[in-house]
Chain A
Amino acid sequence: MALNRRSFLTFAAGGVAGTLFTPVIWKSIDDSAIWTQNWPWIPRLEYGPRAYAATTCKLCPAGCGLNIRTAGGRPVAAEGRTDHPLSQGGICPLGAAAVQLLYAPARIKGPMQKQADGSHQPISWDEAEALLQEKLAEQKGRKDAVVCVSGDENGTINELFSALLGGLGSDGCFLMPGEQLVASKILREGSIGYDLENADFVLAFGADMLDSWGTAVRNKKAYGAAHPVGEEASAEYVYVGPTQNVTGGAADQWIAITPGMEGVLALGIAYHLLQGGMSAPQAHDFFAYRNFVINRYTPDYVERLTGVAPEQVAELARKLRTANKPLIIPGSTIAQGGGVFSFAAALSLNMLFDNVNSVGGIQVLPDLPKVVEGAKAQAQIRAKDLVAYVQGVADGKVSKPGVYLVYEANPLFALPQPDVAAKAFDGSYLVSFSTFYDETAVQADLLLPTPTFIERFDDVQTPYGSGFASYSLTRPVIRQPIFDTKPTGDVLLGVAKALDIDLGYDSFDKVLEAKVAALSELEGFFTDKVQPWEARAGKVPAAASGNLWRNISRGSFWASIQEPFPTAMQLGSTIISQTAPPDAEDWTFPVSLAAMDSRTYGSRHIAIPPFCLPLLGEQEIQGDVFYVWMNSATARAYGLQAEDKVKLAGPNGSCLAKVRIFEGVGRNMVAAPLGFGHTAWDKFSRNKGDNIYKVLTVRTEPGSNLAVWADSRVRIAKA
């Protein structure tokens, strides 16, 4: 009997009613099912002993601890590590998809060189490194002729880049934009941390702390611990931001605000606190601050700019005052492109509560010791403004570098106004150290793929947002990288040597070993018994001892709560008054654009991973069209309905999308997700939606001269 699957189904369905009770049919159904289902494309499972390898995630800057589950030595799944303070057993969707990314079709399989026709052809590592050396040698001694763009906020690799560049005569080591850049304008040494676990009232301005901001999984753990299932909450979370994003939706209260006006609201709250007699005598500029706030940030003014009702502002001030340990978190909704004003204004509230270096407050965290001779201090690297630089080059105000080195970053996609970046990059020799074939790699002259974090040694130093200084390592879970890749640290050391620049090490592993050895300069401890927040609250940990490298390379997490230096705090009255936002409406671009970020959409340098696609809702993407969100009143005002095609146009670019009516978006605003619209990568991420970075518009913040774009504006019209 010839049976294909379809005729078998008809046969079975017809046969069921009459023959259900004869054993013959049962037997043949069973056999046939096995036969029909025995397709060659169903992979057979491979068995093998199960094991776990503890490591650290490098897919976004949050630095979670991951356990890579292996079967017969093959990584099969990523799980959150319970013994790691930044994950505590939890994971984010991007980290959960990490193992499968190893085999994403978008991976670059070996070094490649761009041909005259624009295609990339494989070359050997020897040839590739010789080319890199040749290109760098041409620039040697020419001032600022080599520029590095690093997407790794907290790796020691930046020391190698900066020292190599220094040896070549360049000062151009940049990080992709992030909160740490803004924070560095307030704090010139060390970085800012947030002691979430010990706070009982958390007020986040903009910072999407439960999804895409800072140490996201740790933040969620803290939030979860404060909201135990079936019991009373032990801390209240309030989110101030333009959209009811993940943080806004989960927080105990969401306060909708005009994008970019978070700082105004903060000072509106300060107004009430100051009126109520609060002071900050420890700050030298208290009186200037007081006068400025009381004179300008009156309830009417604040309402006009923020759209938040005066009673609500007063109520927030009251809640803060009655809390035992209030913590105020400044930030931008997309963790980039915010200005100093909002940041400093929100931060100043912490100072009114004398919250600096106190339990449940903000912490000044030390930078870990530098180990590469000739490298710039981390604080100096953090403080460099890539977007302003790129604009300068594009405008011809800054001379174009000869070579760009791009590491784990995708500036031609993920900088605001990517066409400006394209202009700045055009004509220079572009080297990409990316793992994946991203938009920047597509344009690159030379591709030197780095292994994924599952295949290499690397490190994570104090992720931004963490409440304590920390260090952990990433280590190769599989013995051999899957493709012909080479750790970028080793490539840099090799090429430096060939150029007679002495970076002091033979291999990147040695650099990391030196880093670990240098940790003994600080008072650190392993978090196996005492968590950093417990230590902050008074529990005494045992100082880290023994073989640090052995412990840390096997997964131990090193932390320190040491205060780096006595900090003379300023409320920042000068910078706050100089950077205050212009009090004017822009009628050419009448609608505020509230961009949204989420780990579902990948991260700044990773496109939406294959395993995250099912997470996208029907009203996030349909086929290749994505949605932008607005509330029904806004839609009505512009003659739009759900599912209508709409065009968002900014001063420099535009995007096509469909309309999703979502009431969790403020008035006269359109919310749009970042991370869609990839044109490179693979079929899983490519051609899905449009790139909102094209519509984000850079302006210069007066007073700080920082490039900002979190408060962009657009025109919307039916398309």
Chain B
Amino acid sequence: MVLYLKEFKIKWGMVIDLDRCTGCGACMVACQAENNIAPPVDASNKRYSMTWLLVYQLSNKQPYPNHDVAYMPRPCLQCGKPNCVPVCPVIATDKNQEGGIVSQVNARCIGCRYCMAACPYHARYFNWQDPVWPEGMEKTLTPDVSTRPRGVVEKCLFCHHRYMYARDKARIEGRDPNALNEGDYIPACVEMCPTGAMVFGDLQNPEHKVHKLSKSPYAFRLLERLNTKPQVYYYSKREWVRKQGDNYLEHETVGGV
């Protein structure tokens, strides 16, 4: 059992600076386009809308004028111990390949949504409706990511196809595909962020920025006490932000400085 608790030499991960994110949503649109997610006519019912990356607004809940906000982009956190994996009856999702990305095989998914129930981060989305592209818009589909039908669960895969391209490129150039340089592989959302709030790289590689940043006292992971060990770290110098990240109770203290 617990086959999925494999350790990986490379762990792709992000550090997202919540003091720098302005909540503009460019990353969300970039993700929609990159991963061929159909445009919704009404996205106001969040339970039925599809977006692999969601930017949440956090508030320090202080009345005016002491109010403060932070924006938290939430992709799939690619947990080290993913709750979503062991519950899948058909092994449509797995954490098995180098890099530690939690995969999702759409063609195998039977839509039972156990993974959605298990994911504490609401990072998985069920295709309630037929994905419809207005006439002609299907021409803008990228050849990199297959479209998914109604009835399957989808999620962010750290733009896995970009990883494959980066590895191919390294091979062609005679480099080791398992020793990519920082910047060889960058997901769409990270690349497009105008403030540079998202940093991407190999958490295990001391040469990569994320390695050091993830060890900062200001870095934290969502609901850390659940021990899911996400590969996405958040970063904030504001204590209230870190506190909300782990659902701390009033009297509890948080890490950081």
Q: Hey, which bits of chain A sit against chain B, CB under 8 A? A: 5, 8-9, 12-13, 16, 20, 29-30, 33-34, 36-39, 41-43, 45-48, 50, 69, 71-72, 74-80, 87, 89-93, 95-97, 99-100, 102-105, 210-211, 216-217, 220-221, 223-225, 227, 229-230, 244, 246-247, 249-250, 256, 482, 599-600, 610-618, 621-623, 631-633, 662-667, 682-684
Contact = CB atoms under 8 A, between A and B. Distances in A.
Contacts of A91: 26, 30, 192, 194
Contacts of B206: none
B177 interface: no
CB-based closest 5 A-B pairs: A90-B194, A610-B39, A663-B67, A96-B29, A224-B195
B15 interface: yes
B69 A93 contact: no
A36 B43 contact: no
Interface string B11-39: 00001010111111110111011101001
A95 B39 CA distance: 15
A224 B132 contact: no
B24 A220 contact: yes
Given A249-B71, A633-B64, A664-B69, A33 B110 contact: yes
A74 B24 CA distance: 27
B63 A76 contact: no
Contacts of A610: 39-40, 134, 137
Contact of B44 (A77, A103, A221, A616): A616
B256 interface: no
Given A99-B33, A611-B33, A684-B39, A90 B130 contact: no
Nearest to B50: A614
Interface in B79-123: 89-90, 106-112
B29 to A, nearest CB: 4
A410 to B, nearest CB: 21
B30 to A, nearest CB: 5
Nearest to B49: A614
A267 to B, nearest CB: 21
Contacts of A42: 131, 147-149
Contacts of A76: 33, 140-143
A636 B217 CA distance: 40
9 contacts: A33-B90, A33-B109, A43-B138, A45-B36, A77-B188, A90-B193, A249-B68, A663-B64, A664-B67
Interface magnitude class on chain B? 35 or more
Interface in B190-223: 191-197, 199, 209, 212-213, 216, 218
A76 B141 CA distance: 6
B107 A623 contact: no
A614 B51 CA distance: 7
Interface of B: 15, 17, 19-26, 28-30, 32-34, 36, 39-46, 49-51, 54-55, 57, 59, 61-71, 89-90, 106-112, 130-143, 146-152, 188, 191-197, 199, 209, 212-213, 216, 218, 235
Contact of A90 (B54, B90, B195, B209): B195
Given A105-B134, A663-B64, A97 B29 contact: yes
A103 to B, nearest CB: 4
A381 B193 CA distance: 35
Nearest to B62: A663
Contacts of A8: 110
Contacts of B63: 631-633, 663
A683 B107 CA distance: 31
A29 B90 contact: yes
A684 B69 CA distance: 29
Given A33-B109, A615-B25, A664-B64, A230 B213 contact: yes
A614 B43 contact: yes
A76 B188 CA distance: 13
Nearest to B216: A230
A667 B209 CA distance: 43
A351 to B, nearest CB: 30
A77 B143 contact: no
B24 A79 contact: no
Contacts of B66: 663
A96 B30 contact: yes
A77 B67 CA distance: 37
Contacts of B112: 9, 12-13
Contacts of B40: 610, 613-614
A92 B64 contact: no
Contacts of B22: 210-211, 220, 223, 246-247, 249-250
B133 A224 contact: no
Nearest to A80: B192
A103 B134 contact: yes
A96 B193 CA distance: 10
A39 B143 contact: no
Given A92-B194, A667-B64, A33 B29 contact: no
A69 B45 CA distance: 31
A28 to B, nearest CB: 11
Contact of A631 (B33, B64, B70, B199): B64
Given A9-B111, A77-B142, A229 B29 contact: no
Max count, chain B CB within 10 A of own CB: residue among A71, A80, A103, A225: A103
Contacts of B137: 100, 103-104, 610
A67 to B, nearest CB: 11
A100 B209 CA distance: 34
Given A9-B151, A96-B29, A100-B33, 14 more contacts: A12-B89, A12-B90, A33-B110, A43-B141, A90-B192, A103-B139, A104-B137, A105-B135, A220-B195, A227-B20, A249-B68, A249-B69, A623-B42, A663-B63
Given A42-B147, A103-B137, A229-B235, A96 B26 contact: yes
Nearest to B146: A45
Contact of A46 (B24, B90, B110, B141): B141
Contacts of B148: 42
B20 A229 contact: yes
Q: Which of B62, B68, B137 counts the most A-chain CB atoms under 10 A from its CB? A: B137
A308 B33 CA distance: 44
A600 B111 contact: no
